[in-house]
Amino acid sequence: MVVRLAPNQVHTGMRLDTYLHSEIESYSKRAIRQIIEIGGVHVDGRRVRRCSLEVAAGQRIEVHLDGRSLTPFRITSDLVLFHDEFLIAINKPAGIDTQPTVARFQGTLYEALLVWLDRRHLRRPEIGMVQRLDRNTSGVIVFSIHPKAHRQITQQFTDHQAVKTYLAMVVGAVTAPVQELRATLIRERKSGLMRVSNTYPGKEARSRYRLIAPIGGASLLEVELITGRTHQVRAQFAALGHPLMGDRQYGGPRRLGKITIDRQWLHSHRLRLIHPKTGLPVVITAPLPDDLRKTIPQEIADSYS
């Protein structure tokens, strides 16, 4: 939701937090301050994070509200899967944006990583973002954190040398136990979602999947991404008539038997790449989170812990 405001002469000189509180009465002054601090307020098109800023007549003020917690996400040591001078891999929880959005800078994975690294390094951290995970996708994500690592790690992802393996639960029974999927993906202007197109030019998406087990009216899959397109797994399986469980944007149901699934059933489980300094392979895995574990038999969940 976006609240658009235009202060007049009466408001000139008021503190930003005071002005917003007077205009948006449904939020406490403390909440207004938190919205400013996380980066949800833009003045004349620029993000502003200073509560004491004085407003002026004629300014265009936008308040972006995403409806989620105003307490910034912070990385804890248990979420760090791999860390050395060149790379860091995080087990990203679901519900956290990977990169800044119009509604928040503070509390995104990128900003939380800056804070975590800054507390542990003498030099200013430099982060190379070579991967993206959707807000409600969990699991392993890697960043380069040294200037000498950025180019090589980026090249591995560009050339599809990094091997990314996801766990996904889709609706229904898949037609083959093993299959490679190829599709052309385009973005719909109105919805912003990715769709498979047989008509318009777009970006090639390639994935391989292996059936792990049928579960109720669904199928648990291991999916290897050969390319890394936006919403690739979600869009490809939706086009096959097998949307991800819990993925309401792409037509997936929220319930599996008596269990409610509150987000798309998609987890970045394993990443294999070549270390930019040593040249040796590095394999990083992220265990299944509790919300996904509870939807599958324990013996299967334990094998992916």
Residues 6+ apart with CB under 8 A from 299: none
Q: Domain check: are 41 and 99 in the same one? A: no
CATH code of 35's domain: 3.10.290.10
Residue 71 belongs to a domain = no
The pLDDT of 208-215, averaged and rounded, is 96
Q: Domain check: are 37 and 85 in the same one? A: no
- For the chain, the domain total comes to 2
Q: Containing domain of residue 21, as a range? A: 2-64
Residue 70 belongs to a domain = no
Q: Domain check: are 129 and 191 in the same one? A: yes
Q: Domain check: are 111 and 255 in the same one? A: yes
Given this model, what pLDDT does residue 180 score? 96
The pLDDT of 134-143, averaged and rounded, is 97
Residue 131 belongs to a domain = yes
- Digit-coded pLDDT (tens) for 252-263: 999 988 899 999
Q: Domain check: are 155 and 34 in the same one? A: no
Q: Domain check: are 96 and 235 in the same one? A: yes
Helix (H) or strand (E) holding 270: strand 266-274
**Domain end call among 64, 87, 117:** 64
Helices (H), the chain: 16-23, 29-38, 109-118, 147-158, 232-239, 290-293, 298-303
- Digit-coded pLDDT (tens) for 28-72: 999 999 999 999 999 999 999 999 999 999 999 999 999 999 999
Residue 72 belongs to a domain = no
Q: Domain check: are 31 and 93 in the same one? A: no
Q: Domain check: are 109 and 176 in the same one? A: yes
Active site annotation includes 97 = no
Residue 69 belongs to a domain = no
Q: Domain check: are 118 and 253 in the same one? A: yes
- Digit-coded pLDDT (tens) for 286-302: 999 999 999 999 999 99
Residue 119 belongs to a domain = yes
Q: Domain check: are 237 and 127 in the same one? A: yes
- Digit-coded pLDDT (tens) for 263-281: 999 999 999 999 999 999 9
- Digit-coded pLDDT (tens) for 154-205: 999 999 999 999 999 999 999 899 999 999 999 998 888 999 988 888 999 9
Q: 123 pLDDT band (50/70/90 cuts)?
A: low
* Residues comprising the chain, all counted: 305
Query: Is residue 303 over pLDDT 60?
Result: yes
Distance from the Cα of residue 113 to its chain's centroid: 14
pLDDT, averaged across the chain: 94
Exactly one of 17, 66, 97, 134 is catalytic; name it.
134
Instruction: Using DSSP bridges, classify how beta strands 138-144 and 266-274 pair: parallel, antiparallel or unpaired.
Output: parallel
Given this model, what pLDDT does residue 78 score? 96
Predicted TM-score (pTM) of this structure: 0.92
